[in-house]
Amino acid sequence: MLYLNVHFSEKDEAKSKYARWDPEKKKWYATNEKYYYRFSKWIEGESVATNNVYIAVMDRECWKCKNETPVYGFAVRSKGIIDITGETDDIEEYTGFDTVIIPISSNDVPEEVRKYLSESTKCEIRFSKTIKKSYFSNICTHCNTLQGNHFVYDEVDSFTGIETTMLEENPISYIKFKLVNDIPLIYEAGDHIVAPPVKIFDENNIIESGISIE
């Protein structure tokens, strides 16, 4: 089930597309993920996450002190993402990744996930001299230095540039959050594409957070 942002003036149009009304939350919602694309004008994003989302955790050498420090990303299984733009029916086949990892600074990150990171890790809002703005960041546990988004997510041995062979020495663990309802993502299929395909998700390396996201 996916809640929609339907303006009052468009309620009849939403109803004609078989959206349903939740009188308690006073919001329209769609029930069949196969047809989410029909409601794209009321979904704030390019895709939809279903079932579960995760925090991906891996160790990374701090660029400043050179000690190993945990870094975090917001992760969604590719098979749990529905593209509503019509670009692809299979995110994993299209991108080559079995898991999509998004920076924790992204607006895609649910409030519950960001709260967990704030309370359980050193992640916090920090000002970056490089880009001259503040954002929710990974922080070194040893020297308290900001680990920038480019450093954590875009370099060769980091989340989106990682290769399967690297995982043997530096495996990724996943903290699981259950989705009560599906949620929209700004993520657009094709942000990162690799060949040959890369499998980075490990069913045996999951930690249950015990937290459900409404």
List the domain range (segments joined by +) for residue 13. 1-43
pLDDT in tens, 86-113: 889 999 999 999 999 999 999 999 999 9
Tokens at residue 11, please? 């309620």
Instruction: Say if residue 38 is in the same domain as residue 67.
Output: no
Shared domain for 123 and 198, answered yes or no, is yes
Number of structural domains found in the chain:
2
DSSP 127: E
Beta-strand ranges (E) seen in 78-158 are 81-83, 99-102, 124-128, 133-139, 146-147
Adjacent-strand bridge partners of 28: 21
Judgement on whether residues 7 and 84 belong to the same structural domain of the protein? no
Closest CA to 86 of 32, 150, 159, 35: 35
| Residues 195, 167 share a domain | yes
**Tens-digit pLDDT profile for residues 35-77:** 999 999 999 999 999 999 999 999 999 999 999 999 999 999 9
pTM above 0.85, yes or no: yes
Do 138 and 61 belong together in one domain? yes
Decide which of 192 and 124 is more confident. Answer: 124
- The reply to whether 104 and 35 lie within a common domain is no
Q: Evaluate whether 146 touches 126 at the Cβ level (below 8 Å).
A: yes
